[in-house]
Amino acid sequence: MTEQVILFDTTLRDGEQALAASLSVNAKLQIATALESLGIDIIEAGFPVSSPGDFDSVQQIARTVKHSRVCALARAVEADIDAAGQALRVADQFRIHTFISTSDIHVQSKLKRSFTDVLTMATGAIKHARRYTDDVEFSCEDAGRTPPDNLCRMVEAAINAGATTVNIPDTVGYTTPSEFGGIITDLFNRVPNIHKAIISVHCHDDLGLSVANSIAALEAGARQVEGTINGLGERAGNAALEEIMMILKTRQDRLGLHCRADASKLYRTSQQVAKLCNTPVQVNKAIVGANAFSHSSGIHQDGVLKSQNTYEIMTPESVGVPRNTLNMTSRSGRHVIKHRLGELGYHDHHYDLDGLYQRFLALADKKGQVFDYDLEALLFIQNQQTEGHYQLRQLHVQAGSNHFATASVELQIGEQIVTEAATGNGPVDSVYRAIERATGQPLNIQSFDIAAKGGGHDALGQVDITAEFNGRVFHGMGLSTDIIEAAAEARLYVHNLIWRQQQIDQQKQQQQGKEAV
């Protein structure tokens, strides 16, 4: 008989705050539904008090996700907790996660308070959060460097105040596995009411020990583990949940623990997060890296051919590494697309079939054959669409090795059709200058990356850019067999994000004006 480990994913909060550009609401919703499909128990959707955009995204995720519990972060401050409660109240069930620092260096240098003051703030915050929900998590920030006596006092007080989950974070990735496991053991031995709450752990990877520390804590009695997909997060990142999931599955005989997540969806979820967050997965990344199941050594290849488990302790299929065997053409009907997406793990609510099918036909006419990775790429770009205030209608470019490039673009901007032309140092530069004239929004392009999605000369090209506008950084992407068109779509995606952010800012100003009256 094995015990269940609760999986708490903070990709949308701790992971997102470490990105160069904030995610759009649509991107966050796509990640949240992927996490729900994966079987994550708790999804920490964001930090509602931090911005109107974050409040909106948490609220929409809370309204959409039904099979995972949605959680929001709040400092031990009533205004933070109220914002979290308001954002989450649209959900059937939800969790408020409040925290405060407990280590001496944080209490004295950052908070400039006594530990007794911090203890009072923590218990007050927990009680305030209980007004909104009976599912309250409390975190002892920098627990790994907190004196044991103070940590025991804080955990006992938090449980007495109503916390149902108490999180012990190694916030700065300082501890070693035996040390961190010892902290958890000490709490179970010394805190008299510890059986009334679930003990959780949240480990960072500054010394590369986040997953090892998490497993040591689970062996010592913790029953919730926090992390992110692909290990995204502050500084060196968080514990990678895909690694923890496969450790629990592969070494269940030793650990006696399990989780309810569906590991066969790990690879797809990892790829979605990597694309939406514009953070490629390193090739030698455990579980989901491109080389995780590849064998170069002749000895290894010989062994795997004779018996797969000679050099593979898990199969590619167990984590959902795709085997692209089906190709489709322009003669394929909607039912084929729907059926294939179902086999890939996507459900009807993940996409608009009519819109996706039109994009599929256009690609099939260009390529002849469409493969699974093409289909997923089309689905991804469709789900990435924002309100579409800016849309590309036509694009024409002339370029030569000894001449400036000239581009003309026709955009639909709201209800208007706008046409502009410009010259530049190359085709992309000329297109971007024309779009800048049409939109009236000069962007500072900070990065421009091109990647092929699939194989062959007719592979889809994906362009990812990060751009700064009025002090904010945005991530845009475009996908097309024509790389110039993909570049244009990436820029227009950024303009759509800017437009949406402006709508949020206007709504906030209007609300503030009403409150002032």
Counting Cα atoms < 13 Å in the Cβ hemisphere of 379 gives 26
Torsional sign, CA 355, 358, 362, 365: positive
What is the distance between the alpha carbons of residues 300 and 475, in angstroms, rounded to a whole number?
A: 41
User: Given this model, what pLDDT does residue 300 score?
Assistant: 61
Per-residue pLDDT of the chain (517 residues; tens, 9 = 90+): 899 999 999 999 999 988 888 888 888 998 999 999 999 999 999 999 998 889 999 999 999 999 999 999 999 999 999 999 999 999 999 999 999 999 999 999 999 999 999 999 999 999 999 999 999 999 999 999 999 999 999 999 999 999 999 999 999 999 999 999 999 999 999 999 999 999 999 999 999 999 999 999 999 999 999 999 999 999 999 999 999 999 999 999 999 999 999 999 999 999 989 988 989 899 899 999 988 887 655 666 667 567 777 778 888 899 988 654 455 788 788 888 888 887 776 777 777 888 888 888 888 887 677 777 677 777 766 655 545 789 999 999 998 776 789 999 999 999 999 999 999 999 999 999 999 999 999 999 999 999 876 666 667 788 989 999 988 888 888 888 889 999 999 999 899 888 887 887 777 677 666 666 6
Give the model's pLDDT for residue 381. Answer: 63
Crossing angle (nearest 10°) for helices 25-38 and 52-64? 40
- For residue 473 the two structure tokens come to 């950084």
CATH 3.20.20.70 fits 3-277, yes or no: yes
Q: Give the architecture-level CATH label for domain 390-504.
A: 2-Layer Sandwich (3.30)
**Within a 13 Å sphere around the CA of 443, how many CA atoms are in the beta-carbon half?**
31
d(CA 275, CA 516): 42
Rg (CA), the chain: 25
Partners of residue 474 on adjacent β-strands = 22, 467
Quote the pLDDT of residue 164.
Answer: 98
CA-based nearest residue to 255, from 226, 302, 221: 221
pTM of the predicted structure, to 2 decimals: 0.79
What is the DSSP secondary structure assignment for residue 385, as one 8-state letter? -
Q: Is 362 helix (H, G, I), strand (E, B) or coil?
A: helix
The pairing of strands 224-227 and 6-9 is parallel
| C-alpha distances in Å from residue 406, one per residue of 145, 192, 400, 431 | 60, 75, 10, 8
Residue 224 in tokens: 């919730």
Of 127, 61, 119, nearest to 94 by C-alpha is 61
- In terms of C-beta density within 10 A (0-12 exposed, 13-18 middle, 19 or more buried), how is residue 397 classed? buried
The three-state DSSP-derived secondary structure of 417-432 is EEEEEEEECCHHHHHH
Query: Strands, DSSP E only, in 370-504?
Result: 370-371, 390-400, 403-413, 416-424, 444-453, 460-469, 472-480
Inter-residue contact 312 to 304 (CB < 8 Å): yes
Reference 40, options 24, 61, 22; nearest CA is: 61
Q: Which residues contact 307 (CB under 8 A, 6 or more apart)?
A: none
Residue 58: the pLDDT is 97
Please report how many Cα atoms fall inside a 13 Å half-sphere around the Cα of residue 193, on the Cβ side: 16
What single-letter DSSP state applies at residue 50? G
Containing 412, the helix (H) or strand (E) segment is: strand 403-413
